[in-house]
Structure 1
Amino acid sequence: MLRAIGFLLFSLLPSLCLAQSCSFTATNMSFGAVDTLGGSPVSSTATISINCTGALLTSPRILICPGIGAGSGGASSAAARQMKNGTNSLNYQLYADSGHSLIWGSNNWPYPALPPVFATNLNILGFVNTSTTLYGSVFGGQGAAAPGSFVSNFTTADTYFIYRYSSDTSCATPSGTLAGVSFAVNANVAANCLVSVANVDFGTRGVLSANVDATGSVTATCTAGTTYAISLSGGVANAAPTARKMAKGAETVTYGLYKDTNRSQPWGDATTAGSTVAGTGTGTGQVLTVYGRVPPQTTPTPGTYTDTVVVTLTY
């Protein structure tokens, strides 16, 4: 008789354990070309990637307090970080939300804003790869920022990322393992100018037997350090600076536009040497007075006489 003999094999395999750790990377945040004379902010984003490992077959919750400090550009206040181009500054801010209401702060900088609370769970294999978005905004109305490339660099000394396996929901007093990331925030400010005008109105006059004077203005708003020149066309008649024509049908009134209160320096266009007005932008509006004069002349029939002069700002 044959007997079947079986064997039971008992084995003990040690559970595979992974070290509990997290690493982080971040993309650069580039705002591209920024118009600092405009009132609207310019927005951009960066991505912070998170890679954590831990024990198999468990799903521990990892609390991450990703603090971001001022960066190499520093901060002018709690509300504004800065990018730098030499000694020139460009104000911006980093946020934890798309609505730009929650400033992304740090536990090791002098301002009230703290890191946002970020939590994730390991999968059953003991790891997780995820990411979060960093939002940024360059403020509008910064014409005093001279044209050029601006940057603020963030190193691991500026990024104070603390993480631990915890069910806590606050980053007010974080503890755990310290890590960090390196990235840069950059923008390019281009030279730009805006121009606005106030008309020259000679009012109501009778017989044109004496000089009739009036003034208007051209306001130039250019980025700091931007050189510019302003020319005035010859009007509808394309006349010389001191012989422009206001017209009512076929009848005209001769007038001139000047750069000075004495009406001795005609203000014309680039075709007349020395007749334009030059300046250098400061980031704020620079008001340039236009001095007008109607000289004595034969008085035409009563009515309204007008001319249109084109103002050209070249920079």
Structure 2
Amino acid sequence: MKRFLLPLMCLFVLFLASGTASAADQLKCTFDKSGVLEFSMDPLLSRTSEQKMQIDADCSSYVFISVLGFFQQPVRVCMSLDAGTTGSSTTRSMIGPNGKKIGYQLAGGPNKASPYTVGTEVPNEMVLPFNFVRINEWVPSSSSFPIYGSILDTKGIEEGVYTDTVQAKFRYIPVGGFLFPGWFFPPGCSFTGGDTVTATMQVRVQVKPFCALDVSQHIDFGNWQDLDQPRDQQGAVTVNCDASTKYAVKLGWGGQGDVNKTRNMANGNEKISHNLYSDDKRLQPWGDNATTGFLKDQQGEGKRKVIPIYARVPRQATPSPGTYTDNVVVTLEYN
């Protein structure tokens, strides 16, 4: 009987040794905050812009000896994020040109779900599985904290790069081991003690020049029986550029035009000449180059601006009855 009892007692002692070897001083964790939470947006943004990154947690526990997975080491990691460089308890801010700010939020889920408020610790638990025979080695496991960043509704901001620095604090501790997987351990992040690691996270947004163009207000000269005298009409384009953007508007020569000279509306092989101007007296032709002139050196206003186009059908021979049309390309250039 003694010969069979001795191996059993030795095996039991080996399991106890594996449990005691995984004390707090036998646990180490590192946190990879590589990458930058980076946004790209236009100054006329009327909705939130969301980006995602994650901070990876890699933990290892030292094992003196373990056999066939009888030992598992749960580890609880808690993360908290501060207010950033100039933020508050509810809103963080990135700083850009001339000290201008862009507000943003950080959360643990998309659409601002589970916000990472300042001073609140967020728990994450991982298990270090010892599935085989292990002797004198570190056993790894990993998890991650997702971070979703949302730009708050912002309009009329200046172009440039806006940045912020957020300090992330991680507190971690083993919460059980061997046959006791932490059932009586305090929930969440209410535990005391544990090791602490800090890391720095960069948040960045580049606000790029932006303009929008609307050409839905077309030019309709109406119905006429002859062209014995000039016929005038007016259309418009609508431009929306941010306040720090300069822009120019150019008008092409249409589908039947004579470049740099005149434009034509066509009905089959017959044509009616017309032209477009930037002034109501119709003295300044509106083209697409320095020779014919165009609307240049305009300054954005951060809101919609209606720019009139003055059109004229000059006196000319009256062609056959019918509908005459032309398509003119409108080009908006900005930087």
Common topology (TM > 0.5): yes
Task: Find 1:180's aligned residue among 198, 202, 213.
Answer: 198
Q: 1:241, 1:266 within 8 Å by CA — same for their partners in 2?
A: no
C-alpha distance 275-261 of structure 1, shift in aligned 2 (>3 A): same
Give the aligned partner of residue 102 of structure 1.
Answer: 113
TM-score, scaled to structure 1: 0.72
Give the aligned partner of residue 36 of structure 2.
Answer: 29
How far did residue 121 of structure 1 move?
Answer: 3.9
How far did residue 273 of structure 1 move?
Answer: 5.5
Give the aligned partner of residue 134 of structure 2.
Answer: none
Give the aligned partner of residue 116 of structure 1.
Answer: 122
Partner SS for 1:117? strand
TM-score, scaled to structure 2: 0.68
How far did residue 67 of structure 1 move?
Answer: 1.6
How far did residue 23 of structure 1 move?
Answer: 5.1
| Counterpart Cα distance in 1 of 2:152 and 2:263 | 40
Q: 1:64, 1:162 within 8 Å by CA — same for their partners in 2?
A: yes
Give the aligned partner of residue 9 of structure 2.
Answer: none
The answer as to 2:227 corresponding to 1:208 is yes
C-alpha distance 73-127 of structure 1, shift in aligned 2 (>3 A): farther
Give the aligned partner of residue 131 of structure 1.
Answer: 143
Which is further off, 22-31 or 191-200? 22-31
Amino acid at match of 1:188: Q
The answer as to 2:309 corresponding to 1:309 is no
Q: 1:62, 1:120 within 8 Å by CA — same for their partners in 2?
A: yes
Pick the structure with more helix per residue: 2
**Identity within the alignment, %:** 27
| Counterpart Cα distance in 1 of 2:291 and 2:86 | 46
Partner SS for 2:308? strand
1:32-111 mapped onto 2 (5 Å cutoff)? 34=41, 41=49, 43-51=51-59, 61-72=74-85, 74=87, 78=90, 81-86=92-97, 87-97=99-109, 99-108=110-119
Give the aligned partner of residue 153 of structure 1.
Answer: 165
Q: 1:215, 1:290 within 8 Å by CA — same for their partners in 2?
A: yes
Q: 2:256, 2:266 within 8 Å by CA — same for their partners in 1?
A: no
How many residues in Structure 1 have an aligned counterpart in Structure 2? 290
Amino acid at match of 2:323: T
The answer as to 2:257 corresponding to 1:246 is no
Residue segments in structure 2 that go unaligned for 5+ positions in a row: 1-16, 131-136, 176-184
Residue segments in structure 1 that go unaligned for 5+ positions in a row: 1-12, 109-113
C-alpha distance 32-267 of structure 1, shift in aligned 2 (>3 A): same
Q: 1:37, 1:141 within 8 Å by CA — same for their partners in 2?
A: no
C-alpha distance 81-288 of structure 1, shift in aligned 2 (>3 A): farther
How far did residue 307 of structure 1 move?
Answer: 1.1
| Counterpart Cα distance in 2 of 1:141 and 1:271 | 40
Give the aligned partner of residue 9 of structure 1.
Answer: none
Give the aligned partner of residue 292 of structure 1.
Answer: 311
| Counterpart Cα distance in 2 of 1:115 and 1:102 | 15
